[in-house]
Amino acid sequence: MPNDALRTLLPIAGWPEERASAVDITNVSDPIVPTPFRIGETSAAALAAVGLAVADLWTLRTGRQQDVAVDTRQATASLRSGKYMHLDGAHVSTERNTVMGVYPAKNGRWSYLHCNFPNHRAAALRVLGVEEDREAVRKAVAQWDALELEEAIIAAKGAGGMVRTMEEWAQHPQAIALASLPLMEIIKIGDSPPEKLPDGDRPLSGVRVLDLTRVLAGPTCARTLAEHGADVLKITGAHLPNIGYQEYDTGHGKLSTHLDLRESKDVEILRGLVREADVFSQGYRPGTLGSRGLSPEALAQLRPGLVFVSLCAFSHVGPWASRRGFDTVVQTVSGITNRQGELFPGAQPGPQFYPVSAIDYLTGYLMAFGATVALGRRVREGGSWLVRISLAQVGRWLVSRGQVPEAALKDVSQEFTLAELEHWSMISDTPMGRLRHLRPVVRLSETPPRWARPSVPLGYHEPVWPARTA
């Protein structure tokens, strides 16, 4: 059934199972891209959940309902939206650093080095004792036990992992800890009076969102809220590394400013922004912001009624709760790359990543779903709310949907048609040039999603909120 994955999300919002029938999900036919994992079904479900939550806020505003629809092929394309960007007619490169990747280690095991950020790359090279050269890295990794290398890189404040099978991961203490958690939690963390939505003609009009996230998942959450009318202010530091093209992809609809949270004056500026915010979205490891007085509980006292969205890699429980991680790291340690490599071998032998950034984008969509549900609860009953999720919990949900039978995995197209991509694309005039990119996926009958602002370079704006318009 096309809405089965969506039904697994409804209890998060406290909705009955029949709510799934309120969405028209079309073209559900995994595999859509070459992978055994049900990436089409889950992407459509996550976006449908967003659509339902947004439509719920619209009903709170107006008393009117609206139709929600999602095309599964379009939803799947959105899981690699960075690939489809063109700036002034030229393709925007999404190439990764040359030493990032999976390497053979001792005893037939494999190790993954996450090297896109310079600090993580430096950590891996420091552990291996080599220069930034792929062949030198390959020779060095071959001398290591994969598990020992995993621990050494984490100890050096890097990121990566040993490739495991799904069976091995299921027995790992972190996987066992994850199994005790729901996919996502929406928890009331403070009392405050019910709060009506700001005036406006879109579901999230006037809702102010602080986006303190990086890379893909968290920024996708804020971008999704922006496409339904929220005012999003992205906060990052000029000293922090970034991957430029990803900001083009995830920056639609946002203002962007620089603050250095190592400086007390900038922390105070942020606290001032929080006082006038509705949603605070962050992707730091558990406890990191708390040391700066920016924990969920502290900010809920500063701004009663705040929705605090918290993302991390491996959840807030278990031995890996404070471990750095990314979509590719979660794929590696949880058995996804091992299974993908078995069924879809690459040019070189060994584990393979699936052909989209599914965990990242799915997590971003689910964060936006959770934030929107929490805003609805603030309208109905008041309170401050914590929305808590991790990449590993979403990876577990994706895997739990089962796999496409191997017989159905023959001759799967690697790409969407040019006609499809043209239909799904739009052009935005940005400070960087004319950007061609994918448009929002969810279809709403009364408030079609759109971005009121184009992507901008990081730090482009001052750290102030725009005026709310009636």
pLDDT (tens digit, 9 = 90+) per residue, 7-66? 999 999 999 999 999 999 998 889 999 999 999 999 999 999 999 999 999 999 999 999
Query: Does the structure show a pLDDT above 60 at 470?
Result: no
Share the mean pLDDT of the chain: 94
Query: Does the structure show a pLDDT above 80 at 291?
Result: no
Rounded distance, CA 224 to CA 201, Å?
A: 17
**Radius of gyration of the chain from Cα atoms?**
21
Question: Three-state DSSP class for 459?
Answer: coil
Q: At what angle do helices 358-381 and 391-400 cross, to 10 degrees?
A: 110
Query: Does the structure show a pLDDT above 90 at 290?
Result: no
Query: Does the structure show a pLDDT above 70 at 447?
Result: yes
Tokens found for residue 37: 């994992």
Name the residue among 164, 146, 79 with its Cα closest to residue 107: 146
Check residues 346 and 79 and name the one with the higher pLDDT. Answer: 79
Q: What is the pLDDT of residue 115?
A: 87
Tokens found for residue 433: 């040039």
Q: What is the pLDDT of residue 2?
A: 62
Half-sphere exposure of 311 (CA within 13 A, CB side): 33
Sign of CA pseudo-dihedral 301, 306, 310, 315: positive
Rounded distance, CA 113 to CA 329, Å?
A: 8
The model's pLDDT over 201-213, given as tens digits with 9 standing for 90+, comes to: 999 999 999 999 9
Tokens found for residue 104: 């053979």
Check residues 169 and 293 and name the one with the higher pLDDT. Answer: 169
Q: What is the pTM of this model?
A: 0.97
Helices (H), strands (E): how many in the chain? 18, 17
The model's pLDDT over 244-267, given as tens digits with 9 standing for 90+, comes to: 778 899 999 999 999 999 999 999
The answer to whether the CB of 102 falls within 8 A of the CB of 82 is no
Number of residues that make up the chain: 470
Q: What is the pLDDT of residue 293?
A: 83
Any idea what the Cα angle at residue 340 is, between residues 185 and 30, rounded to 5°? 70
- CATH number attached to the domain at 4-93+179-316+355-444: 3.40.50.10540
The answer to whether the CB of 296 falls within 8 A of the CB of 237 is no
Percent of the chain with pLDDT over 70: 99
Q: What is the pLDDT of residue 418?
A: 96
The model's pLDDT over 70-123, given as tens digits with 9 standing for 90+, comes to: 999 999 999 999 999 999 999 988 777 889 999 999 999 999 999 888 889 999
Q: Is 420 exposed, middle or buried (0-12, 13-18, 19+ CB in 10 A)?
A: middle
Domain chopping of the chain, boundaries: 4-93+179-316+355-444
The model's pLDDT over 274-286, given as tens digits with 9 standing for 90+, comes to: 999 999 999 887 7
Give every CB contact of residue 194 below 8 A, 6+ residues apart in sequence: 378, 379, 380, 381, 382
Any idea what the Cα angle at residue 18 is, between residues 17 and 23, rounded to 5°? 110
> Measured between alpha carbons, how far is residue 309 from residues 35, 68, 166 in Å?
30, 24, 29
Q: Is 264 exposed, middle or buried (0-12, 13-18, 19+ CB in 10 A)?
A: exposed
Q: Which amino acid is at 240?
A: L
DSSP state of 37: B
Percent of the chain with pLDDT over 90: 88
Q: How far is CA 324 from the centre of its chain?
A: 15
For 174-195, letters b (16+ CB in 10 Å) and e give: bbebbeebebbebebbbebeee
Tokens found for residue 51: 């659509």
Rounded distance, CA 1 to CA 74, Å?
A: 18
Question: Three-state DSSP class for 89?
Answer: coil
